[in-house]
């Protein structure tokens, strides 16, 4: 049964998850900040847009650390690449990345959270709306991923 449910094993998943948890914990213990990712998009848009929505205090005041955090994600992945990782190019089609990315970006900002914001930080804060959000997005993601497969997507 193990091979059916986890054909690639589980240790890299577990270790990666623990490292992510330590990352979000370190951020909280040192600075008190909540490390979800999706707000980065909206706060960064305040750099290039005058629209009042993007220039609300909650976005402008968190803009700098979110940029540094995202830069950290990129360099962290680079460290992985030069230590234990190897580069790969996804075979998921450009239209899936473009259409799916647009819808995911829109939805995550409407919901004020994504896999990390609602999933990790929200549940860890014992927030019922976040738990519900996670159940909902897992449900719709499973449905759309399977529909795409039936339609011949990667």
Instruction: Tell me if 60 contacts another protein by CB under 8 A.
Output: no
Distance from C-alpha of 118 to C-alpha of 113, rounded to nearest angstrom: 5
Residues 112-131 that bind another protein (CB under 8 A): 112-130
Angstrom distance (rounded) from CA 93 to CA 82 = 27
Smallest gap from residue 54 Cβ to another protein (A): 5
Q: Can you tell me the distance from the alpha carbon of 120 to that of 133, in angstroms, rounded to the nearest whole number?
A: 12
Local structure of residue 37 (DSSP, 8 states): S
Site for another protein in 19-48 (CB under 8 A): 19-38, 40-42, 44-45
Closest contact distance (angstroms) between CB of 61 and another protein is 9
Q: Least distance (Å) from another protein to the CB of residue 150? A: 10
């Amino acid at each position: 049964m193990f091979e059916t449910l986890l054909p690639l094993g589980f240790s890299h998943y577990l270790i990666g998850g623990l490292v992510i948890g330590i990352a979000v914990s370190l951020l909280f213990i040192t600075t008190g900040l909540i490390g979800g990712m999706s707000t980065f998009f909206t706060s960064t848009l305040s750099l290039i847009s005058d629209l009042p929505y993007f220039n609300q205090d909650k976005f402008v005041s968190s803009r700098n650390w979110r940029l540094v955090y995202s830069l950290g994600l990129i360099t962290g992945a680079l460290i992985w690449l030069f230590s234990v990782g190897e580069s790969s190019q996804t075979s998921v089609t450009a239209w899936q990345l473009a259409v799916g990315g647009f819808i995911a970006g829109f939805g995550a900002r409407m919901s004020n959270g994504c896999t990390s914001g609602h999933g990790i930080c929200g549940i860890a804060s014992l927030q019922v709306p976040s738990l519900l959000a996670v159940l909902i997005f897992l449900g719709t993601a499973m449905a759309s991923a399977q529909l795409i497969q039936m339609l011949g997507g990667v």
